[in-house]
Amino acid sequence: MVSPLLSVEQVGFSYGHQQILSDISFSVDKGEVFCLLGPNGCGKTTLLDCILGFQRLKSGSIIVSGKSISEITPGNLARLISYIPQSHERTFPYTVLEIVMMGRAAYTGLFSAPNRMDRRISESALDTVGISHLKTRPYTRLSGGEGQLVMIARALAQNAPLVIMDEPTAHLDFKNELTVLETIARLVQDKGISVIMATHFPNHSFFFENNDIPINVAMLKDTRFIETGPPAKVLHEDKIETLYGIQADIIKYTNGTDRARKQVIPIRTVV
């Protein structure tokens, strides 16, 4: 049996006495999307931080490519896992290419800088995402959607099999949200990368399911996973009510095409 790319085993985490995560277990295979749902402040970001090795676990273990992340150096971990932040705090006006080349940090020495090959890899990452025309623009002047595509290109330049995204479509408009989702879907299908994604929108998981991408969903509430599995199994009206405290309808429609699509429609809050 082939072991999964990432497996999270009985992970627990707390800030002081406040328990944030307890007994979290799941695994992600190559070419698979894992969608993390849950209300604000439920610990999604903390769980992602643990997988990134940015927070130390209180219990349990996280294994990536057969090795526990606590035994991997930051440089080697970055070759396995890349990260796309929610909204990026932009300070200095580096050009887009300079930002993407930072994705090569894990491949450069402590006192050196990216070389010509790193530059080529970064340029082809921009090309793959379809934003080569932004190459020389200062990224502080980009729109939110363009900025997020730059982050995806940077993760691509990092060349890691697993990408972690923390609400990658937050603050984006309709089209940009869809552009980001389509780009992610394309990378999963074409490059076989795996994605762990925290999101506030259950419809994002339906988007991947509707596009035939292998996807699992986890619902995180009160420090625990209350449900994990494919959207068809997990995303039901009653479970959405437990998770968010809202009444929602899940509708299935074909709209004249020969494929069924699914959407969650929020109706009203439940006290």
Q: Which is closer to other proteins, CB of 163 or CB of 240? A: 163
- On whether the CB atoms of residues 86 and 167 are closer than 8 A, the answer is yes
Stretch in the footprint of other proteins (CB under 8 A) among 29-37, 57-65, 111-119, 171-179: 111-119
Q: Does 88 bind other proteins (CB under 8 A)?
A: yes
Q: Does 254 bind other proteins (CB under 8 A)?
A: no
CB of 98 to other proteins, least distance (A): 6
CB of 77 to other proteins, least distance (A): 7
Q: Does 115 bind other proteins (CB under 8 A)?
A: no
CB of 268 to other proteins, least distance (A): 37
- Bridge-based pairing state of the strands 162-166 and 18-28: unpaired
Choose which of 16, 40, 71, 89 interacts with other proteins (CB under 8 A).
89
CB of 58 to other proteins, least distance (A): 15
Choose which of 113, 117, 251, 260 interacts with other proteins (CB under 8 A).
113
Q: Does 82 bind other proteins (CB under 8 A)?
A: yes
Q: Which is closer to other proteins, CB of 117 or CB of 251? A: 117
Q: Does 53 bind other proteins (CB under 8 A)?
A: yes
Q: What angle is formed at CA 193 by the lines to CA 44 and CA 150, rounded to 5 degrees?
A: 75
Choose which of 14, 19, 27, 49 interacts with other proteins (CB under 8 A).
49
- Applying the rule CB under 8 A, the residues between 145 and 174 that interact with other proteins are 154, 158, 164
Cα separation, 38 vs 155, whole angstroms: 25
Q: Does 143 bind other proteins (CB under 8 A)?
A: no
121 contacts: CB under 8 Å, gap ≥ 6: 104, 157, 159
Q: Which is closer to other proteins, CB of 111 or CB of 174? A: 111
Q: Does 103 bind other proteins (CB under 8 A)?
A: yes
CB of 145 to other proteins, least distance (A): 19
Choose which of 18, 111, 133, 255 interacts with other proteins (CB under 8 A).
111
Closest CA relative to residue 148, chosen from 195, 96, 79: 96
Which parts of this chain interact with other proteins (CB under 8 A)? Answer: 49, 52-54, 73-79, 81-83, 85, 88-89, 91-94, 98, 102-103, 105-108, 110-114, 138, 140-141, 154, 158, 164
